Amino acid sequence: MSSEFQPTGASPLLDGVRVLVTGATSGIGLAMARALATAGATVAIGSRDRDRARAAAAGLPAPDGRAFGVALDVRDDGRVAAGVAEVVALAGGLDVLVNNAGLGMRTVNPNFMTDPQPFWQVSPDAFRDLLATNLTGYFLTARAVVPHFLDQGRGRIVNISMNHETMRRRGFVPYGPSRAGAESLSHIMAADLQGTNITVNMLLPGGATLTGMIPDEADGQVRSRLLNPEVMAAPIRWLCSPQAEGVSGERIVATEFDGWLAARMAAGG
């Protein structure tokens, strides 16, 4: 990250910071990409579909060359390696990985909100497919970027997670276990990377969020209780800023971010 990079208040400028956000063509991924681009970061959007990635990047509030899309299938280690290499080449390096690509319960059970499906009725293929994205995908993408971070002597990983209640919720196999596994993976990553100047943190919305993972038939009352994906904007900007230098192993809830940050600052963190 550039030595000229300076924070300004609660929305730090991110000039010189290069960020890859996986699964950022919609939902909270796109909201985070937009927040980062607005703050001046160079943002790469990773998606299995290159055209969708490029279209999403074109819609970001960023000058030419400061936002771009790449093909990156987090389920395939070869495609992950190629996607990360393309990001590094186009951006001139990489400072932050935001592991966000994921599938929701809708892909396993379209009626999960009204008709929870017990685990023994989940097909093995559906279980494997979701974990391949939500858990193995985090591992493969982090595995691909860490050697680059080690070479440059710094880097940050932010793994997007979900409420603990969701991990234990009835009818939430395999989504719940995939997010629980990603949290365990995050803690181990942070421990393995101690002393390397590479940090690993978790970020979660703090409740169900209005994204494409919500069934179309969900009524207006249900939708009115859902969080806006923009809730992720302030904490992801902070995690990519100099203010978060050296912060690792944290689990940050977006809806509680202001209080969390105030308490940290009061404690001298």
Residue with tokens 């101690």: 194
Q: What is the mean pLDDT of the chain?
A: 90
Q: Which of the residue ranges 25-34, 123-132, 214-223 would you say has the lowest mean pLDDT?
A: 214-223
Instruction: Give 25-83 as a DSSP string.
Output: SSHHHHHHHHHHHHTT-EEEEEESSHHHHHHHHHTSS--TTSEEEEE--TT-HHHHHHH
Report whether pLDDT(214) > 80.
no
DSSP label at residue 24:
-
Q: What percent of the chain is modeled with pLDDT above 70?
A: 89
pLDDT at 13: 86
Q: Taking residues 115-127, what's their average pLDDT?
A: 95
DSSP label at residue 131:
H
Report whether pLDDT(188) > 60.
yes
Mention every residue, 6+ apart, whose C-beta is less than 8 A from residue 51.
none
pLDDT at 268: 81
Calculate the CA dihedral of residues 127, 32, 224, 104 and round it to 10 degrees.
-10
**Structure tokens that stand for 119 in this block:** 């685990």
Angle at the Cα of 53 (from 50 to 57), degrees rounded to 5? 140
Top-tier CATH class for 18-266 = alpha beta
Name the residue ranges covered by the structural domains of the chain. Answer: 18-266
pLDDT tier, 210 (very low <50, low <70, confident <90, very high otherwise): low
Does the pTM of the predicted model rise above 0.85? yes
Residues recognised as catalytic: 175
Sheet of 67-71, strand order: 67-71, 42-47, 18-22, 96-99, 155-160, 198-204, 251-253
